[in-house]
Chain A
């Protein structure tokens, strides 16, 4: 495969062409995690680790979605693997665990679903909403997906931490 084909595949990823699509999602996950790392005031030296964390999260989630898993299950698997990897990596990265695993999972937080769910609720409050029952069901579906996906991410991140952390003796 020459460079032109590789670039074309990356710029026009086809979900049915799993290799390019996986690479595209992974790179976007890395960029989003590193960008949010700057927003969270992570130092430049540690940003590559955030990018790795985000790339890993999106790679696992995209792979699992490709296997036919739903978004919630795929997000849970990705968060679980990122949480476990961060437990191994954090000593080397010299960065707090919270920063590394949460930043890596930020690209998976379903912010667009949350916005669509609330906009759907707003639409229901107009004087005469068109297709009120359809709008309500769609809004509730988005709200449930947001809740379950955030729950899946939080649980996936918490399990390795709860299993592997040694608590300070009181």
Chain B
């Protein structure tokens, strides 16, 4: 029997708020399934399951803020018998037989979610069987079936669920159905303006501060820079993109990610995570992509197996990740699997980035803004597009020699962009 716990989605996360279940008792789950949605300082994150089996019980209440490690659900391994649990219920909570209905006012607006029903009858709550019961589903007859997230939004926006037609299974009202009703007329956003649900920029700043302070306290950083002739890559890219429609064009940033990922695959001591047992090198390169949010803040979700992706696939993965980072949902594995981070200045800005390592990783590589600079070619000094690449690495794990090898490898790869 496995206890599925609140995962750590990065060194800067201490707790998360459970906002939606995607599973119910009796469901079978497998590794990688999205089982819940948790709100963190970085917005809503889809939590993936680490194991395979059958959901025995949901052990946490919706809307509860829980520390990392708190039990969320119990999952039985395949073939494992259900634990000795007195209550033979919890098969399909949503379809539970309608309890004797307390008086109900048909037109009453739904009460805030997850609160005890208004019925005056004493609730037999004191001794729940082992685990907390699943979050209350729609009380039959009183309010229509709706997903928890839909309820929350409906409450926030003052939307009466009874007036909506649900598009979910059995006519259940989903988040999108409530969203379709539109934003409240003049609802002042309680938090800094952002397009990302659940994102709290102030809390994110605090979280970044704590992670970066830890990095500077615990990780003996060293820094190496190399300026690289980017002209071959710039020429190749201009030529390639000239023949393409906008939707299939590639950004220089994709070349940087690809080159850095392939280089990292050849230098094991900068690719991995530093945990309680010391450094564990990673066979694959899960390249964290530092994505800046307008308005401030930064999230660095990972592209899995970045060293194996074609340039077009790298670009597609970056588009997807940037879009979800800014306006949608990231997945828990993207938040926690990174083995090295890549930070890129973009088209304009500073020449170099000497970045702070994101624990538990042991390296971060910064690409400054490409610029035309004088460059010696043979006996002549010519104007060339160049970029300065800076590696920040962890001296507990690697030395300058391996760091230099990594930068040289990036240089070599960027000289033959067609082979990336």
Partners in one complex: no
> Contact residues of A with B, CB < 8 Å?
none
> Contact residues of B with A, CB < 8 Å?
none
